[in-house]
Homo-oligomer: A and B are copies of this chain.
C-alpha cells in the first residue's frame, strides 16, 4: 500500500486529495513538525530535503508535490490530467505557479530562515506575506473558469490549489476579495476526497 508522510496544514494534503479522488488505498504517517521531526536523521532517510509530502511507492520514495501528483495520475487516476496537450499545459502552468510562486510567498511567513539569517529580515518577510499572497490570488482569480479552475472537471491543479486556499486567512488575505476563489474553495470542500482529508486533521 502507498504510504504518505504528511503534517497538518502543509501541502501534503494535495496528495491525499488526489489519492482520495481515485479511491486509492493509502496509509498516512504523520510527521511531528512541532518537535522538528522533519529535521532529524530518521526522516532525512525518507526525504533528505526534510519536507512533506513524501510518498513511499513500491519502487522507492517520491518527493515534490508536482511529481507525486503526476505519478498518481499516470498510474492510478488518469482522469485528473486533461488529454489535450494544451489543456494539460494550462493545468501545469497553474501547478508550477503554485510551486514556484504562491507557495514560496506563503513560506516567507514562517520559513524566512531558509533565505536570510537575521531575525529582522524574517519579520520583514512575514510582514509582506499578505501583499504577495493577495497578488497571487489576483492572478489565480482571473484564471478560474468555475467552479473549478478549468470548469466542471477537477484536475491535479485543483487538488493543489485547495490547501493553499485554506492558508489565506492566516496569511492575512480576505478570500471574500476573490469571489471565484471563494466559490472554488467551497466547491472543493464539499467533495468527499477533501472532506476525508479534513476529517483526518490534514487541513484547517
Chain B residues with CB under 8 Å of A186's CB are none
Spot the interface stretch: A13-21, A92-100, A146-154: A92-100
CA distance A67 to B70 in the complex (A): 12
Decide: A62 and B89 in contact? CB cutoff 8 A. Answer: yes
CB of A66 within 8 Å of the partner chain = yes
CA distance A106 to B61 in the complex (A): 27
- Copies assembled: 2
Secondary structure call for the A interface: helix
Interface string of A51-94 (1 = CB under 8 A from B): 00000010110111111101100110000000001101110110
Measured CB to CB, the closest approach of chain B to A90, in angstroms, equals: 8
Interface string of A22-33 (1 = CB under 8 A from B): 000000000000
Measured CB to CB, the closest approach of chain B to A61, in angstroms, equals: 10
Interface residues of A in 113-154 (CB under 8 A from B): 114-118, 120-121, 124-125, 127-128, 132, 139, 142
B67, B127, B139: the one contacting A117 at CB < 8 Å is B127
Measured CB to CB, the closest approach of chain B to A44, in angstroms, equals: 11
Chain B residues with CB under 8 Å of A38's CB are none
- Please report A residues at the B interface, Cβ cutoff 8 Å: 48-49, 57, 59-60, 62-68, 70-71, 74-75, 85-86, 88-90, 92-93, 95-97, 99-101, 103-105, 108, 114-118, 120-121, 124-125, 127-128, 132, 139, 142
Decide: A67 and B92 in contact? CB cutoff 8 A. Answer: yes
Decide: B99 and A71 in contact? CB cutoff 8 A. Answer: no
Chain B residues with CB under 8 Å of A95's CB are 66-67
Contact flag A85-B92 (CB < 8 Å), given A100-B99, A124-B117 = no
Measured CB to CB, the closest approach of chain B to A143, in angstroms, equals: 10
Chain B residues with CB under 8 Å of A101's CB are 49
Contact flag A71-B86 (CB < 8 Å), given A93-B62, A128-B116 = yes
